[in-house]
Structures are given as structure tokens and as C-alpha cells.
Amino acid sequence: MERSLKTLFSGFTVVLLGAALSGCSGEPTEADLKRALQAEMERTNELAQSMLGEEVGATVAITIHAIEKLNCGQSEVDGEQGYRCRVEMDITYPPAKRQKRRASIRMVKEDNGWTVVKRF
């Protein structure tokens, strides 16, 4: 009886530990990628409007319509752990028309969530 309780307790501890660790080290989800890329595009669009003026800036604004995560792999740059993710984006990128483009994006998890890393 005592041995079976120890075995049960050990198994339960391993399951809890595995669940806790897997929650901390997962790669970005498709929703994480979309949120981070959308935030990056909004910053880019705001910069264009501040440099070119609101009217002209609006004509060159980038719009992300959809993102599909193709794959992610662990990546390290300058000692910082993250992921390099391949995505396919449905995007309007003026002056071109709406199109689908594939891209490789480096992501790191910060205190406020996943973010795009611009240095390579």
C-alpha cells in the first residue's frame, strides 16, 4: 500500500512538473505571431504618417489581412533565446496590391508577450 502511494505521488509530481515546464517554453502560436506582427505594422504605419503627413502616410500604410504559421524553430541571436518562424501573410504592401508573401520572422518572449526582433 505504501509503495503504491509513493508510485502514485511520484507519477503525479512528474505530470505536474511536465505541465508547468511545457507552459513556459512553448513556441509562439499563430495568434501570437499575428498580434506581434500587427503591432509592428502599426508602429511602421505611425512612423510613415509622422514623416510623410497623415494623408500621404495613409496611402502607404501596410495592412495585414491574415497570417498562417508554417513552422517555428528555436533560435539564438546575441545570447537571446527565441524562435525563428516561417509565416505566410496575406498583406497589402503599397504600392503593390494585396498579395500573399512568405517571410522568416525572429520572435522573442518578453514580459508583455511575444515581439518581433528586428536585428539579425
CB-side neighbour CA atoms (13 Å) of 21? 6
SS3 38: helix
pLDDT for position 78: 72
CB 61 within 8 A of CB 43: no
- pLDDT for 58 equals 84
Identify the segments of the chain with pLDDT beneath 70.
1-25, 77, 119-120
According to the model, what pLDDT value does residue 10 have?
A: 41
Amino acid identity for residue 70 in this structure = L
CB 22 within 8 A of CB 14: no
Q: Cβ(90)–Cβ(74) under 8 Å?
A: no
Per-residue model confidence (pLDDT) at position 4: 41
